Structure 1
Amino acid sequence: MRLFLSDDAGVRELTDGHQPIIRVAAPDLQRARRVRARIRSGPEDLAVILDVTVAVAGDFRSARSAFDAGDSADDTIRYAGTVDGLVGLLGDIESAGVADGVTLIAASDRQDLGRIGRDVLRGLASRDQARAS
């Protein structure tokens, strides 16, 4: 799973992928999977990277408060919860063939996207090690 961050500094990859990418946004995982299937059936070998707006905190209620209640028109997957829950979501996205990676976008300026990205990478590495055992 490739992992990107998108913030004021731009878009940067935390993983080491070499395949050209195309970023997509979708309001739900089912639609994202259909978009990926359509793109992957084309002539180009592209990695499909799904935008995911995240609010991460120690508990769901705190994380959920980062989303503005009036911001329901956002056309990206939205996640509010813990790092462990986000790692689980990304694992599900990968195993279900929804996307080849994700771009994490902070739900608020208070989110430390760099820290979240590093924590997610550690969680994904732990998950992969547990699978290999």
Structure 2
Amino acid sequence: MRLFVVDGAEDNWSELTAGGDPTVRLAASDLQRAQRGRARIRSDRGEVEVILDVTVAVAPDFRSVRELAVVDDGTLRYAGTVDGLAGLIHDIEVAGVADGVTLIAASPRVDLRELGRDVLQRLAVWGRKSA
């Protein structure tokens, strides 16, 4: 699972994982739309990796959780804990919804790089436990 973060401006995104295949970003408001979008993109463009945008607000930043409720940017939205976000990303991978995610902060107070590293660490631990 590839993981990207948005750095400031919406078009400026960078990868925290080591992927090399071409990517296409996808914005979808729910997982079903994302899965259909991935299938459509792959039928049009061939073997590209589809990266789903996810706007996030994580505890203990409850102010951004409240802000997330009023955001309607067309992306999948997540509000909760880091463990819950890691679980969502794992489910996105297992269900074949997307090949990766781009984390977008609901609030400028969120350090997406740190959050992304925390998520990757949890996914790695979970992977070792299931192996």
Aligned to 2:102: 103
* TM-score (structure 2 length as normaliser): 0.90
After alignment, is 86-95 or 2-11 more displaced? 2-11
Paired residue total? 129
Alpha-carbon distance in structure 2 between the residues aligned to 1:79 and 1:43: 28
Aligned to 1:55: 57
Helix, strand or coil: the match of 1:108? coil
Aligned to 1:28: 30
Aligned to 1:5: 5
- Structure 1 stretches lacking a partner, 5+ long: none
Alpha-carbon distance in structure 2 between the residues aligned to 1:43 and 1:58: 40
Identity percentage over the alignment?
A: 60
Residue 50 of structure 1 aligns to which amino acid in structure 2? L
| Residue pair 2:64, 2:106 contacting (<8 A) in 1 also | no
Q: CA RMSD in A?
A: 1.7
Helix, strand or coil: the match of 1:27? coil
Residue 40 of structure 1 deviates from its aligned partner by: 2.0
Alpha-carbon distance in structure 2 between the residues aligned to 1:62 and 1:3: 25
| Residue pair 2:64, 2:107 contacting (<8 A) in 1 also | no
Q: Cα deviation per residue 1:12-57 (whole Å; 9 max; x = unaligned)?
A: 1010011100000001100000011112234521000000000011
Runs of 4+ in 1 over 3 A off after TM superposition: none
Residue 127 of structure 1 deviates from its aligned partner by: 1.3
Alignment of 1:1-133 (within 5 A): 1-8=1-8, 10-58=12-60, 64-67=65-68, 69-71=69-71, 73-132=72-131
* TM-score (structure 1 length as normaliser): 0.89
Residue 8 of structure 1 deviates from its aligned partner by: 1.2
| Residue pair 1:36, 1:48 contacting (<8 A) in 2 also | yes
- Structure 2 stretches lacking a partner, 5+ long: none
